[in-house]
Structure 1
Amino acid sequence: MKHFARWSLCAALLLSTQIPSAQAQTVKRGGTLQIAVDQSPVGLDPHLATAFSTFVVTGQIYEGLLDVDASLKVKPLLASKYVKSKDGLTYTFTLRPGVKFQNGDPFTAADVEYSMDRVKDPKTASPLASRLSAVKDIKVTGPLEVTFVLSQPFAPFLSEIATIAIVDKKYVTGGGDLQRKAVGTGPFSLKEWVPDTYVQLVKNPNYWAKGQPYLDALKYNIVPDASTRQIGLQSGTYQFLPNIDVSLAATLKNAAGVKLIKSQDLSYSLLGVNVTRKPFNDPRVREALNYAINRPEIVQGVYFGDAVPAGPIPPAVKQFAEPVSSFACYTYSPDKAKDLLKQAGYPNGVDFSILTFNTIKTVSDAAQVLQAELTASGFRAKIDVQEFGSFVQNWRNSNFDAFVSLNGGSVDPDGQLYRTLISGGSTNVFKFADPAVDKLLEQGRSATTTGKRIQIYNKLQQMIACKGPVAFLAYGALYSAASSNVNGFTPNPTRSLAAFKTTWLGK
């Protein structure tokens, strides 16, 4: 899976291909944007989703109180404004009037309260729950006003709630199944979902942003094979390929009738381990694993050089990201890795399994490169490639020795690290628990000055980079590919496709 101006990227850093804006040309309304994606959604419930394949669809249907734009600034969305108390413990949001859900139900403060309570409820088991852990109370203080009361100051509060979709209380409490049928306030509504074939969204005629969206429909065609997506784009069968891997981007670079859209990616590839299973229960083995990884080789072999080695915090978040050169274990050294394995009681090396999937080429390629790299250090890895739905289920249940995947990034270090590393965190599938790490994570989110937070997260990064449950691999460039007649789309480093509401098709 955004923040204040001080964390925003300048336009130059976005490196986006210049696309004629809707404002610079006469917008042509209507038409269906044919999109090709590699995976079918794994359910549609925005409070349960962890897969990009779900977000690319639900991001058009649902909205939050706030949004994160392409420059990573937080801006109003369903909330027209907010007021923060002097002590930083109370936020009062004024909601937009006249907004309706796609089924005609009016949007009110009760829907906001219900949505946040639903995410917080342990019975929901939402991976977003940690983002609201500092929220002590949510009160409806008017039909279009809702107040959040925090238990302590929480610096990333605004960027965190921007990721939480508002659902229709009446629909859900009336028995609506959000995993199969989506009802939001967004620019497009769900018309049809044929699993593993396509998802059809249609224009919301009552969308609150008057005049939007410009398109009549979005059709997400499920096309697992990358070459088929490529051929389909070049032939005109498809008009948009979101979040493609760098190898496909390189192939399409000079293709006729195709344009590449590039931005800074906040997401990262990783090798995660289950610290309750041997040998990864020993921090010396986790440190050895990092010494055994040749990250520059991954950057070249998997990302064609269009990436950087990954640390715990994205390099785009300049104030907080420690340079990877400061992490001793990022120096590739099979000898050091073997020595650490010997100290941990594994003089003959270790055998383990890497869980992964093959619908994202950079993921499957990274697993294969890692398998080859690790052998020199005594790590003998077997790759277990699973269907994506099975992978997600095993990931959620911590049913793995190790896994290779992609993780959504954040423009705030709390969003990046807290729910992943805090003991019992909603996405801490690694079963990692360290009181010292927990203490720093809590201090980082409650510190009231940027300087103090920088000190805390610098220390935290040094603690987890080598001995934590995650071997951070790489941050790659983020590409989408579009037909030359696609206009008005602005890329977002968060991988959001919200700009489809201002996208239109020329001749």
Structure 2
Amino acid sequence: MPRGAFSAVGAAAALTLALTACSSSSGSSSSGSANGPASGGRTLVVGVTSDPDTLFPWKATQFQAVNVLQNLYGTLTEFDKDLNVVPGLAESWQTSDDGRKLTLKLRQGVTFADGSAFDSADAKASLDQIMDEKTAAVARASLSSVKSVEAPDAGTVVLELTGPDAALPANLATVNMAMLSSGDTEEKLNATPNGTGPFTLGKRVPSQSITLARNDKYWGAEKAKVASVEFRVIPDESSIVSAMQSGNVQLAVFDDPLVAQTAAGGGTITVARTPQLNYHVLQLNAQHGDLKDVNVRLAIQCAIDRKQVLDTAALGEGEVTGPITAPAYKSDPNRRPCPGRDLAKAADYLAKAGKAGGVTVKAIVSQGEYATSVNEAQNLKAQLAEAKINLELEVLESGAFVDRWVAADFDAAVALNGGRPDPDGAYGRYFTSDGNLNKVAGYSSPELDELFAQGKATTGQAERKAIYDKVAAELEDNAAWVWLFAGYTYTATTANVTGFAPMASGSLQYLRTTAVG
């Protein structure tokens, strides 16, 4: 995509605000000397609420797994701190005049953690396997325009496309598109990750901690500033604050604004607030039970005051959102059948569905992956009860939730989903009929298939915005899901931490520039 397409995202990321009177150095993307690490043999301890549920990047959907893996693996393209697409393992790329060929020139001298060289054979094998349905890669749909992958020489990869794909460079930047050594297997990598990232796996104690060691052979201009990063599992965010106050943890990212306020109030911790592309949502599986009827789904949409969910669960810290949260393509949350709560309309929709007496919908909720989940679920349950809709909650630990979610084993799910700078990457895999996560979304249509195809084939930002506005309208008019709000993350650092850059995507990729004094 043109760099200009991401300018609005960059503006959003630039809105990072300090919650304390102290100035935060987290906006800096570098620290110390370019000739070596600034904090030698130090370990940065990051407090997290859950353990990664997988170490295989092509199947990672849990936030904590993604945060770890993006520091172990490399991708062909990357996002910078303003979410512009920049070179990664591919130092440059060029699209043919007809848009049907993408040629990537790979960096030379890149090695995997095991010392083996990365080249075009690895890139081709990785992309071919991601596209193979048997792999069950969560980003497979993002390569739907790719007909074939060729490696004409060790430093070149050529993607033959069915047509222009404006989203492809951005889609290649996610860790679900990580480049793997062609000889590695899922089983092997779940035990011993083997990537090209700024860190390698050091030690793992299940359910307690996972430690990454600096990769001194990392291809980047600067090696990581710290010798190691330990992700320490502390299930409760308030307990993480206590650990920071006692000096046992130096960095954490919170979802709960009340916890962030508590952390900032002590005077020893700096907290930076960053608007997020991630969105809170009540996912409805339109293939299950009463939810097959669009009128039942619309009744649920109309019975929910989304601002009340935001105020109750997140102290009003955020904004009500429509489907697309990327600033360059943002949906208007008022363009939906019920912009505000309307119990009379909800009753009408239930009557149209022949369910005037009410319905019961079973919903899964994650406990531990993000802090506001249970409060959101309880507020939704209370609101829907007033419309004769019984939301039956099943609270699950993070790993069990992800397993049920990937298997589409739910009627509804209270979830926090990762947003993307490009709408195709965010939703193409969910809401197209051949999308590899379509069974999770539970909804598709010929109209959406055509709109997503148009979105890929169109390069002008204004034209793409108009297309994705139609996508959003289709999703809202059919209540595929009920989009609630987009919030903030709160990055807490102790006084001796410098160089971390929070991102609107929630990425922790700038742990590589973080130093501990």
TM range (shorter): over 0.9
Counting matched residue pairs gives 501
- Whole-Å Cα distance in 2 between the matches of residues 24 and 38 of structure 1? 28
Instruction: Find the counterpart in structure 2 of residue 285 from structure 1.
Output: 296
- Whole-Å Cα distance in 1 between the matches of residues 488 and 372 of structure 2? 12
Instruction: Find the counterpart in structure 2 of residue 382 from structure 1.
Output: 392
Q: 1:394 aligns with which of 378, 389, 404?
A: 404
Instruction: Find the counterpart in structure 2 of residue 196 from structure 1.
Output: 207
Sort the Cα spacing of 1:211 and 1:452 in 2 relative to 1 into closer, same or farther, 3 A.
Answer: closer
1:419-462 alpha-carbon deviations (Å, 9 max, x no partner): 11111422221332322222212222222433332222112211
Single out whichever of 214-223 and 238-247 deviates more from structure 2: 238-247
Instruction: Find the counterpart in structure 2 of residue 358 from structure 1.
Output: 367
- Whole-Å Cα distance in 1 between the matches of residues 483 and 371 of structure 2? 18
Task: Kindly state the Cα deviation for residue 481 of structure 1 after the two structures are TM-superposed.
Answer: 1.0
Asked if 1:345 is matched to 2:354, the reply is yes
> Contact 1:107–1:168 (CA<8 Å) still a contact in 2?
yes
> Contact 2:337–2:476 (CA<8 Å) still a contact in 1?
no
Instruction: Find the counterpart in structure 2 of residue 170 from structure 1.
Output: 183
Single out whichever of 447-456 and 328-337 deviates more from structure 2: 447-456
> Contact 1:3–1:158 (CA<8 Å) still a contact in 2?
no
Asked if 1:330 is matched to 2:339, the reply is yes
Q: 2:268 aligns with which of 257, 277, 293?
A: 257
- Whole-Å Cα distance in 2 between the matches of residues 443 and 469 of structure 1? 21
Task: Kindly state the Cα deviation for residue 473 of structure 1 after the two structures are TM-superposed.
Answer: 0.9
Sort the Cα spacing of 1:22 and 1:498 in 2 relative to 1 into closer, same or farther, 3 A.
Answer: closer
Structure 1: 5+ residue runs without aligned partners?
none
Q: 2:431 aligns with which of 402, 421, 425?
A: 421
What secondary structure sits across from 2:124 in the alignment?
A: helix
> Contact 1:295–1:330 (CA<8 Å) still a contact in 2?
no
1:381-426 alpha-carbon deviations (Å, 9 max, x no partner): 1110012221111111111111101111011111122111111422
> Contact 1:420–1:427 (CA<8 Å) still a contact in 2?
yes
Letter in 2 for 1:350: V
Letter in 1 for 2:334: S
Identity of aligned residues (%): 31
Instruction: Find the counterpart in structure 1 of residue 48 from structure 2.
Output: 37
1:4-59 alpha-carbon deviations (Å, 9 max, x no partner): 33222345752224416475766433300011111111110000111111011111
> Contact 1:14–1:262 (CA<8 Å) still a contact in 2?
no
What secondary structure sits across from 1:214 in the alignment?
A: coil
Task: Kindly state the Cα deviation for residue 478 of structure 1 after the two structures are TM-superposed.
Answer: 1.9
Sort the Cα spacing of 1:231 and 1:466 in 2 relative to 1 into closer, same or farther, 3 A.
Answer: farther
- Whole-Å Cα distance in 1 between the matches of residues 12 and 477 of structure 2? 32
Structure 2: 5+ residue runs without aligned partners?
19-23
Asked if 1:19 is matched to 2:25, the reply is yes
> Contact 2:202–2:211 (CA<8 Å) still a contact in 1?
yes
What secondary structure sits across from 2:373 in the alignment?
A: helix
1:68-107 alpha-carbon deviations (Å, 9 max, x no partner): 1111100001111112111111111111111111110001
Task: Kindly state the Cα deviation for residue 243 of structure 1 after the two structures are TM-superposed.
Answer: 4.6
> Contact 1:424–1:431 (CA<8 Å) still a contact in 2?
no
- Whole-Å Cα distance in 1 between the matches of residues 12 and 469 of structure 2? 26
Asked if 1:367 is matched to 2:380, the reply is no
- Whole-Å Cα distance in 1 between the matches of residues 221 and 466 of structure 2? 45
- Structure 1 vs Structure 2 CA RMSD: 1.8
- Whole-Å Cα distance in 2 between the matches of residues 114 and 468 of structure 1? 39
Letter in 2 for 1:179: N
Q: 1:409 aligns with which of 419, 424, 446?
A: 419
Instruction: Find the counterpart in structure 1 of residue 490 from structure 2.
Output: 479
What secondary structure sits across from 2:169 in the alignment?
A: helix
Task: Kindly state the Cα deviation for residue 477 of structure 1 after the two structures are TM-superposed.
Answer: 1.3
Asked if 1:247 is matched to 2:271, the reply is no
- TM-score w.r.t. the length of structure 1 is 0.95
> Contact 2:51–2:208 (CA<8 Å) still a contact in 1?
yes
Sort the Cα spacing of 1:171 and 1:416 in 2 relative to 1 into closer, same or farther, 3 A.
Answer: closer
